[in-house]
Chains A and B, each alone.
Chain A
């Protein structure tokens, strides 16, 4: 089901993210998804996230769909040229997968195959444009598709707490012009920055889901602060995570922090996107604590 339909109905749309395994067995992931994520509206499947090679996003989307979940097919431009991207979009449509999230993708140098050739034949904006063209029954080369064209809910990402927020807004505007219908954000730890961002982003008139990561430990957030673009976890939060190591280890502190962030951001956005990073089991508790 297209998540744009949920936004149109005025629902506060909840999605969560899963990363396929580095291997060809998905039973465990499917089990976890069924157990912990059956309450969310849609499940993103990452596409070789952080340039680390894994099982394919499309195959995992199909497996989730067969289990009754509603997948969002993440599609990055790093590993495929326009021919392969378009072909995978048609394959997704054949499986009835109708949510896509278009990304540029991290550079290959950041992942576990730094020797690989980075493709970037298209980027997030030209990929959105390509999806929109396919929907009109034509490929990027200008050739007609046979039969009824596919139709997707076209998603994109934006980084609201980036230190280059104006550049991010300009890019967001280009994505909207290219056909983006909804946005998921990079993880937010500073609700004030997010709210300020939304004041400017609301002019584009597209629903935005605030991105949430459940902080696992002080070490993890310090790592993110140093290495992950667009994320800054304030010192008070790091202190909070340090205070009671047992509570933090059990995930209770992280859930409290994440729930608080959701509550603060909720009035300013149209949904939440949870990147559990292996803590899928905490998602139900988080949603409950956040009052969703």
Chain B
């Protein structure tokens, strides 16, 4: 099971400030706790400020076919937005980010594990429920699962021909992150302050 918790409001404001956003809420999956109330409040504020091109609430966006179907009716609204803000677990954000290649797709939540049985096993993207979702700094590609060393500060010296030093059949995660950041014009995300991981994912120590 997992818990998604809304990121600090300042973080979300800094991502969306002055931008038009399209909002996606994923509430389908029973295994996930969704921060419904805070999310609604924040979205209401954004709507009132006139910065929202559309909002949808759906389920199982981690399933690419389902996600495409759900988004298909809203492509014009997505087109009109500068960024897409996703309220879901890390898998959902990655699925959308990979689909909307040219659009910055931001995670509005952090994903934490909750002891107990695993939920639906996601098909194409992995989330380790690291508790401090990095996707907004990495172009929607999860550095924890796409990099063999789970590096958050950039590529190690081991990539050869764009492949990971650990497995030459796997593309280096940071190679992908770079390409994507360049594609969405967000290479500046690499200039953000030093990132130190926090392995204390229980609420008390991590906040």
Contacts and interface: CB of A to CB of B under 8 A. Distances in A.
Interface of A: 104, 106-107, 109-110, 118, 120-126, 128-129, 140, 157-159, 162-164, 166-168, 170-171, 173-174, 177-178, 186, 227-230
Nearest to B172: A164
Top-7 shortest CB links A-B: A125-B153, A171-B154, A167-B155, A129-B194, A229-B160, A159-B157, A120-B149
B159 A167 contact: yes
Contacts of B178: 164, 166-167, 170
Given A129-B194, A163-B161, A110 B156 contact: no
A171 B199 contact: no
A173 B165 contact: no
A140 B196 contact: yes
A134 to B, nearest CB: 14
Given A167-B175, A170-B187, A174-B190, A106 B165 contact: yes
Nearest to B190: A170
Nearest to A107: B166
Given A121-B199, A126-B195, A167-B178, A104 B162 contact: no
Contacts of A158: 157
A275 to B, nearest CB: 13
B3 to A, nearest CB: 23
A121 B155 contact: no
Interface string B138-161: 000000000011111111111111
A109 B151 CA distance: 16
B191 interface: yes
A200 to B, nearest CB: 14
B158 A106 contact: yes
A168 B154 CA distance: 8
Nearest to A230: B157
A104 B190 CA distance: 18
Contacts, number: 96
A103 to B, nearest CB: 8
Interface string B150-194: 111111111111100110000010110010000000010011011
B74 to A, nearest CB: 34
A85 to B, nearest CB: 12
5 contacts: A104-B157, A126-B195, A170-B187, A177-B191, A229-B158
A166 B161 CA distance: 13
A123 to B, nearest CB: 5
B153 A174 contact: yes
Contacts of B195: 125-126
B196 A122 contact: yes
B153 A126 contact: yes
Nearest to A225: B160
Contacts of B40: none
Nearest to A82: B196
Contacts of A140: 196
> Taking each of B158, B161, B172, which has the highest tally of chain A beta carbons within 10 Å of its own beta carbon?
B158
A175 to B, nearest CB: 9
B30 interface: no
B166 A167 contact: no
Given A104-B149, A118-B149, A129-B196, A171 B155 contact: yes
Contacts of A174: 153-154, 190-191, 194
Given A122-B196, A170-B187, A107 B155 contact: no
B154 to A, nearest CB: 4
A125 B196 CA distance: 9
A109 B193 CA distance: 30
A47 B199 CA distance: 25
A126 B196 CA distance: 6
A107 B166 CA distance: 7
